[in-house]
A and B are shown apart, each in its own frame.
Chain A
Amino acid sequence: MIRAHGLPLAAILAGAAALMVFGLGSGSYWTIVALNLAMWIALTQSWSLFSGMTGYISLGHVVAYGIGAYVVAFSFKIVPLWLSIPLAGVAAGLFALMVALPVLRVRGPYFVILTFGLAELVKYILLNVETGLGKSSRLLFGAPKPDTLLWIMVGLAAAATVALYAVHRSRFGRGLDAIREDETAAETIGIPVVRLKVLAYAASAVIPGMVGGVMALRSTYFEVLQVFNPTISFTIVTIAIIGGAGDARGPILGALFLVGLSEVLQNASPQIYLILLGLCLIGCVLFLPTGLVGLLHRKGGAR
């Protein structure tokens, strides 16, 4: 499916890349916009790697982001950033790996609300840990400038996009497709269902962990309630639904849409922005189940 639409994918990538490069070269406003765009692309591509592929909708992806942010903030000025940011990804991945077995036994709507509840649980546990340590927030003085962070974020967005694209075409991706369609049938034709789900779940947490670390540096302070904000999880799902989770272009389209809408409206009226976002989500679920990416190839057909 991706093969047949190489051109649009290239065009979308080029457009998003152009915007980000523009952000690198110009003043801080565009840098921040580009940083946000790259962040949402990185997060949603990673989410798609698990939820889009397997159909297990995670409403708690912020947990990886938050753990990553915590690792970077906790080790700030102790561990150099070139090490702490990858460590953030590793920590998020390890956490996902640790909880994957019990969490992935749960299916359907139970899974959706479980992932949400788990993220909130981790949030409140860390909140109490931080309070116990006497740190209601951590200031990160001397964090790199947004320009530098944008480079890293663009790298993460590109890595997440390439990863999703590669998984789609791989044997691993075929296995995940089958799991989404019918788990019992999948294991009966030899697919090690549990192992594949666990791997995809853990893999989908790594880049969000690093993204969280970078975003902690970006805001120059760390507060548990801020980095574990469930709105981040919700926004990821919204981008994926609006853009379409079917292939690697969807999240890019969705992120472009979201960042565009937010730049036009968020400052003028955050409420109207969110109302429109909610309406778009409803509209997509009802009328555009394949998302914006579905508009690109209305031919339909199977994968």
Chain B
Amino acid sequence: MDFLLSGQLLFAALVLGSVYAVIALGLNLVYGTMRLLNIAHGEIVMVGAYAAFWGFSLLGLSPLVALPVVGVLTGAIGLFLYGTLFRAQLAANKPVAQLEASSLLLFFGVSIVMQNLASLAFTATPRAYQHLDTVYQIGGVAMTGNRIATLVVSVAILVAVLLFLNRSIYGLAVKALIQHRDAARVVGINVDRVQTVSILAGFGIAGIAGALVSMAEQISPFMGFPFTIASFVVIIMGGLGNIVGGIMAGFLLAFIEIYAVALTSANFRSILIYGIFVGILVLRPQGLLGKARRS
């Protein structure tokens, strides 16, 4: 029991929670503004992880230094997908249900393509590198440098995005778009430009999260899928399109996961995640923390 109360689990939950929150935030921005269900989101995380890995292995670049570059890279992938697959559909103002269904299938195709391109280019063998892995003892809790960095950077990103959404003119436009697409258009928001910003931000921070994850965990072409699932669980818990709810849910999921696994065994992790997932969808599809969704 002492173990449960120790800071060690708390720290692990905070690190995992901050990563979940950042990744899910990216997914939420893309879904909220465009109603695109990006099930290739985890693959973006994977690309970010590989970019950091190669930057470190080939150029000796610290992932922390490379973060902006990684963000721009995955943001550019997002722009490319937006321009080729979704822009025309969004401009045609199709019914939301149709958009959601076709985006799910399109992103599914994208996810297969990206996984296998990565596997072709980098082989399927998992890789890892060592960076900032010095262990610090703080208040009796052992923390590696890279996990501390992950926590700090993730929280900084969350704060920055929240500030951006609440202060900048684009951020306000993003929020308007999340709340009401048609009305946003009517009040003179340049919807296409705001969507571009959301895609850049959503894909960019997913890539950055991947770079952070790569410091402490093995990476492989197929690492993205669990992140896709976790981030869907998170944004559904928080209420689809609800930004603050999603961030809270990211931490909530991580705490449930870390503590439940500590209490039982790692075997139950997946049952737990999917159990929560199915339970919420069946009982409260509008999310634990969210308001009822507009029809």
Contact = CB atoms under 8 A, between A and B. Distances in A.
- Do A and B touch each other in the complex, judged by CB within 8 A? yes
Interface of A: 57, 102-103, 105-106, 108-110, 112-114, 117-118, 120-121, 124-125, 127-128, 131, 234, 237-238, 241, 269-272, 274-275, 277-282, 285-286
A278 B39 CA distance: 13
B275 interface: yes
Given A112-B104, A113-B277, A275-B120, 10 more contacts: A108-B100, A113-B232, A114-B277, A117-B277, A121-B271, A121-B274, A270-B116, A271-B119, A278-B111, A282-B106
B112 A275 contact: yes
Given A110-B285, A124-B274, A131-B267, A282 B85 contact: yes
Interface in B186-241: 229, 232, 236
Contacts of B119: 271
Main secondary structure of the interface of A (DSSP, over half): helix
B285 A285 contact: no
Nearest to B31: A109
A124 B232 CA distance: 18
A105 B106 contact: no
Which of A124, A238, A277 has most B Cβ within 10 Å?
A124
A105 to B, nearest CB: 7
Contact of B278 (A112, A121, A274): A121
A3 B100 CA distance: 33
B1 interface: no
Given A112-B104, A118-B278, A128 B271 contact: yes
B97 A275 contact: no
A203 B105 CA distance: 24
B108 interface: yes
B281 A110 contact: yes
Given A282-B110, A285-B106, A112 B101 contact: yes
Contacts of B166: none
Contacts of B106: 281-282, 285-286
B116 A275 contact: yes
B104 A109 contact: yes
Given A109-B101, A285-B102, A102 B112 contact: no
Contacts of A234: 108, 112
B237 to A, nearest CB: 12
Contacts of B101: 57, 108-109, 112
Nearest to B225: A230
Given A110-B285, A112-B101, A279 B277 contact: no
Task: Give the interface SS of chain B, mostly helix, strand, loop or mixed.
Answer: helix
Contacts of B102: 285
Interface size class of B (residues with CB under 8 A): 20 to 34
Contact of B105 (A106, A113, A241, A277): A241
Contact of A117 (B115, B117, B267, B274): B274
Contacts of A269: 120
A106 B274 CA distance: 16
14 contacts: A108-B100, A109-B37, A112-B37, A114-B281, A121-B278, A124-B270, A131-B267, A234-B108, A270-B116, A279-B109, A282-B113, A285-B105, A285-B109, A286-B106
B268 interface: yes
B282 interface: yes
B282 A114 contact: yes
A102 B270 CA distance: 21
Contacts of A277: 112
A102 B271 contact: no
A285 B100 CA distance: 12
A113 B240 CA distance: 13
Nearest to B117: A275
A272 B112 contact: no
Nearest to A231: B112
Contacts of A118: 274, 278
A142 to B, nearest CB: 32
A40 B106 CA distance: 21
A112 B268 CA distance: 24
Nearest to A103: B282
Nearest to A241: B105
A124 B229 CA distance: 14
Contacts of B110: 278, 282
A274 B271 contact: no
A282 B113 CA distance: 10
